[in-house]
Structure 1
Amino acid sequence: MVAVSMGQFSATAVPLGLAAAAAGVVLLAAYAVNLLRSRTQVTVQGPTIGSTPRPERGSEGVFVLHRLTEALGGPLAPSVLRSFGERRRSAVAERIEAAGRPDGLTVERYVRRRTGEVVLYGGVGLLVLLAGQVFLGVVVFAFVFMTDLNLYVQAQERADKVQSQLPDFLDVLAVTVSAGMSFRAAVGRVADSMPGVLSEEFKLALQQMELGTSRREAFEMLRRRNRNESLSKFVTAIQQAEELGAPLSQTLVDISQDMRRADAQYMRRKAQRLNPRVTMVTAVTLLPGLLILVVGSMFIGTEVDLGLVLGG
């Protein structure tokens, strides 16, 4: 009797466990979709390696699973962090800065979160695999890379925003410098009047210069944080104008015109990259229905007896 009861309990517990795992996967998938569509950035709590603190923002909005994975990875994170070389730490710090430091992320918090993701999603995925659900287990394992996906998506969003905001920013900066204001004061004035991702980056560069960093070094760090081709060209042109003694206002006007042409080319390249994706989505969604429609029409038109075809 006890054996029968235990068998019935096992037969009930396994489907329930799989259902719970599937529900978790659905929730994670919903978060991934929200992540891909989200364009919000939150809190900044502390600096990453070799950087000046960004302006403080609200601390709300950290996803609950990120908090959970950071808590799970906390005990193991120091050992993992000690295994990082200086080059790897710098690479992680640059990726975090390129993404705008979402959730106030630092290298230490990144390691805690990634370690917790391996423990949580890796453990759940292993249990699902042992239960015989291979596809579901692979899907759960994929969420081990959730933080890296977050950084990649937000870095791409910031790059797009910098690309779109740069020409207007330089136009206003050129007018402000032509009015007789110094370059540093003009950058601060324009950054205050045109809030956005690009303004935050220039304010950070100004803070670094106020702390004793040279203009060249501050703009080099601005270039490394953003990895945007147009912004890199702007930094190079500013440095060359400073070395050669060229009129700064005319240099800014020329750079702005070049940036507008570069922005148009960037949007064309982006549209070209989207064409294959649109074609693939169209094929995946329309082709199965079209095949069903064609094959069904053939069967209906020829009046084939499906019972004879299927051996019934």
Structure 2
Amino acid sequence: MNLLPLLPLAAALASAAVVLIGAYGLYLTQSQTRVPVDDPAEAPVAAKSDDTFFLHKITERIGRRFAPSILASLSDRQKASIASRIEAAGRPDGLTTERYVQRKVGEVAVYGTLAVLVLLSGNGLVLTLMALAFTGLTDLNLYVQGRERADQVQTQLPDFLDVLAVTVSAGMSFRAAIGRVAASMPGVLSDEFTIALRQMELGTSRREAFESLRRRNRNESLSKFVTAIQQAEELGAPLSDTLVDISKDMRLADAQYMRRKAQQLNPRVTMVTAATMLPGLLILIIGSMVLGTDINLGTLFGG
């Protein structure tokens, strides 16, 4: 039985399978560390989640011995930058600065050694670069989860402010209204306002608590809300009217944000489609042309 005509189709299917498996593997790598946001006021600082990605567990154990000396060598600015990125990502797995350093040390030790071994074995530069890319696995997770939290805050903010404006207009104090709305509308934004309320209960001023809220969330709309609340407090403007105006502005900002997200999504869809279909399609076309011209493949490959 002559199986030669089926070779282009088999090669095309194999190419598509490799691309799909790679995309699915990247998805699993990112989704394994998506856990609910822990409240830093209640959760132990060094608490570890059972859902921690197994590669992170391995690198943490390897880097545990060397992390204290490296952590001591970091400046306060570097530590603050790491802590800010962790907070922006929602403290996944109860991650702390110390555990972050442990993971980074373990990643450099494990994947850096693997990259050197692959390079010395002569298996190619591509595999070496792939091994080195894993040294940024923790940073990639923090970036992805930070973007996801920013999207969730952007989506939840207009509804949250609508209900908050109605609650304040009904005569409830601003702090009590935030607590009532946060309890009735669970989500990332409610968790963040709950943290701000607990900070105020512990003696932190409203300005400092909201500034901390702004720093934890890199969201432009939430930053504008904090600025508007602070200005209303300084100028003595009616808080209920201010909240209604802010809510209307947030609706417009949310619509613009969704349009920008849709525009950014189009090139990605095109790229994924091309990367998935183009290799197999080219192999199928070229293979069909070669078979259709009755070219002796043995002659081409020196057989």
TM-score > 0.5, shorter chain as reference:
yes
Q: Pick from 28, 34, 37: which aligns with 1:34? A: 28
Determine helix, strand or coil for the equivalent of 1:306: coil
Q: Is the 8 A contact 1:69 1:115 kept in 2?
A: yes
- Equivalent in the alignment of 1:8: none
CA deviation vs aligned residue, 1:257-288 (integer Å, no higher than 9, x gap): 11111011001101111111112222223333
- Equivalent in the alignment of 1:5: none
- Equivalent in the alignment of 1:268: 259
Answering whether residue 156 of structure 2 is matched by residue 165 of structure 1, we say yes
Q: Is the 8 A contact 1:117 1:144 kept in 2?
A: yes
Q: Is the 8 A contact 2:84 2:215 kept in 1?
A: yes
CA deviation vs aligned residue, 1:157-185 (integer Å, no higher than 9, x gap): 10000000000000110111011000000
Q: Pick from 63, 67, 70: which aligns with 2:57? A: 67
**Superposed displacement of residue 65, structure 1:** 2.0
**Superposed displacement of residue 251, structure 1:** 0.9
- Equivalent in the alignment of 1:82: 72
Please list, as runs of the form range in 1=range in 2, the aligned pairs for 1:171-190 lying within 5 A after superposition. 171-190=162-181
Q: Is the 8 A contact 1:42 1:58 kept in 2?
A: no
Aligned pairs, number: 278
Q: Is the 8 A contact 1:169 1:190 kept in 2?
A: yes
**Superposed displacement of residue 67, structure 1:** 1.6
Determine helix, strand or coil for the equivalent of 2:296: helix
Q: Pick from 90, 110, 113: which aligns with 2:103? A: 113
Q: Is the 8 A contact 2:61 2:102 kept in 1?
A: yes
**Superposed displacement of residue 33, structure 1:** 1.9
- Equivalent in the alignment of 1:245: 236
- Equivalent in the alignment of 2:295: 306
Q: Is the 8 A contact 1:42 1:60 kept in 2?
A: no
Distance verdict in 2 for CA 1:68–1:286, change over 3 Å: closer
**Distance (Å, rounded) in 2 between the aligned partners of 1:196 and 1:138:** 38
- Equivalent in the alignment of 2:115: 125
Determine helix, strand or coil for the equivalent of 2:52: coil
- Equivalent in the alignment of 1:95: 85
Paired AA for residue 173 in structure 2: S
- Equivalent in the alignment of 1:150: 141
Q: Pick from 274, 278, 282: which aligns with 2:269? A: 278
Paired AA for residue 135 in structure 2: V
CA deviation vs aligned residue, 1:86-113 (integer Å, no higher than 9, x gap): 1111100000000000010111111111
Distance verdict in 2 for CA 1:54–1:264, change over 3 Å: farther
- Equivalent in the alignment of 2:128: 137
Query: More relative contact order in 1 or in 2 (CA 8 Å, sep 6+)?
Result: 2
Distance verdict in 2 for CA 1:299–1:128, change over 3 Å: closer
Determine helix, strand or coil for the equivalent of 1:234: helix
Q: What are the ranges of 5 or more consecutive residues in structure 2 without an aligned counterpart?
A: 1-20
Report the TM-score when normalising by structure 2.
0.84
Q: Is the 8 A contact 2:66 2:105 kept in 1?
A: yes
Identity of aligned residues (%): 66
RMSD (Å) for aligned C-alpha atoms: 2.5
- Equivalent in the alignment of 1:291: 282
**Distance (Å, rounded) in 2 between the aligned partners of 1:128 and 1:197:** 42
Distance verdict in 2 for CA 1:145–1:58, change over 3 Å: closer
More displaced, 57-66 or 87-96? 57-66
Paired AA for residue 162 in structure 2: D
Q: Pick from 190, 201, 212: which aligns with 1:199? A: 190
Q: What are the ranges of 5 or more consecutive residues in structure 1 without an aligned counterpart?
A: 1-26, 48-52
- Equivalent in the alignment of 1:225: 216
Report the TM-score when normalising by structure 1.
0.82
**Distance (Å, rounded) in 2 between the aligned partners of 1:58 and 1:165:** 28
**Distance (Å, rounded) in 2 between the aligned partners of 1:100 and 1:207:** 17
Paired AA for residue 273 in structure 1: Q
